[in-house]
Amino acid sequence: MKATRPSKHSRRRHGLKAAVLMACTSLALATPAQSLRWNSEAAAAPGTPAHMASSTAVNRNIGYVPPPHSTTPVASGFDVDHFEVLAQALVANQRVPGLAMAIVQDGRVLSARGYGVTDVRGGQPVDAHTVFRLASLSKPFAGTLAGMLVADGALRWDSRITEYMPSLQLSSPGAAQQLTVADVLSHRVGIGRNAFDRDIERNASYASLVQRLSSLPMNCMPGDCYAYQNVAFSLIGDVVFATTGQFYGDSVARRILMPLGMNDASVGLEGLVSSPRWARPHVRAGGGWSPVSPKPTYYRVGPAAGVNASASDMAQWLLAQTGHRPDVLSQSLLSTLHTPVVDTPGEVRGRSWRGQRLGSAGYGMGWRVYDYAGHRMVFHGGAVQGYRGVIAMIPERDIGVAILWNGESNAPSGLLPTILDSAIGMPYQAWLDVGEIPEAMYADGQNPAAGAQSHRANAAPH
pLDDT the model gives residue 70 = 73
pTM: 0.82
What confidence tier does 437 reach under pLDDT thresholds 50, 70, 90? low
Distance CA(55)–CA(336), nearest Å, equals 39
**Does residue 61 register a pLDDT over 50?**
no
Distance CA(458)–CA(281), nearest Å, equals 34
Biggest alpha carbon distance in the chain? 68
**Does residue 8 register a pLDDT over 50?**
no
pLDDT digits (tens, 9 = 90+) for 227-256: 999 999 999 999 999 999 999 999 999 999
CB 135 within 8 A of CB 313: no
pLDDT digits (tens, 9 = 90+) for 78-100: 999 999 999 999 999 899 999 99
Q: What is the mean pLDDT of residues 10-28?
A: 37
pLDDT the model gives residue 44 = 33
Average pLDDT, the chain: 84
**Does residue 374 register a pLDDT over 70?**
yes
What confidence tier does 69 reach under pLDDT thresholds 50, 70, 90? low
pLDDT the model gives residue 337 = 98
Provide the percentage of residues in the chain whose pLDDT is more than 70.
79
Provide the percentage of residues in the chain whose pLDDT is more than 90.
76
18 vs 398, residue with greater confidence: 398
- b/e map of 229-240 (b: 16 or more CB within 10 Å)? bbbbbbbbbbbb
- b/e map of 334-370 (b: 16 or more CB within 10 Å)? bbbbbbbbbbbeebbeeeebbeebbeebbbbbbbbbb
- If you count them, how many residues does the chain have? 462
Distance CA(365)–CA(362), nearest Å, equals 10
C-alpha torsion angle, residues 111, 125, 118, 255 (rounded to 10):
40
What confidence tier does 67 reach under pLDDT thresholds 50, 70, 90? low
Q: Which of 209, 255, 253 is nearest to 235 (CA)?
A: 209
Q: Which of 120, 108, 89, 58 is nearest to 386 (CA)?
A: 120
pLDDT the model gives residue 46 = 31
**Does residue 4 register a pLDDT over 50?**
no
351 vs 187, residue with greater confidence: 187
Least confident among 111-120, 309-318, 329-338, 426-435: 426-435
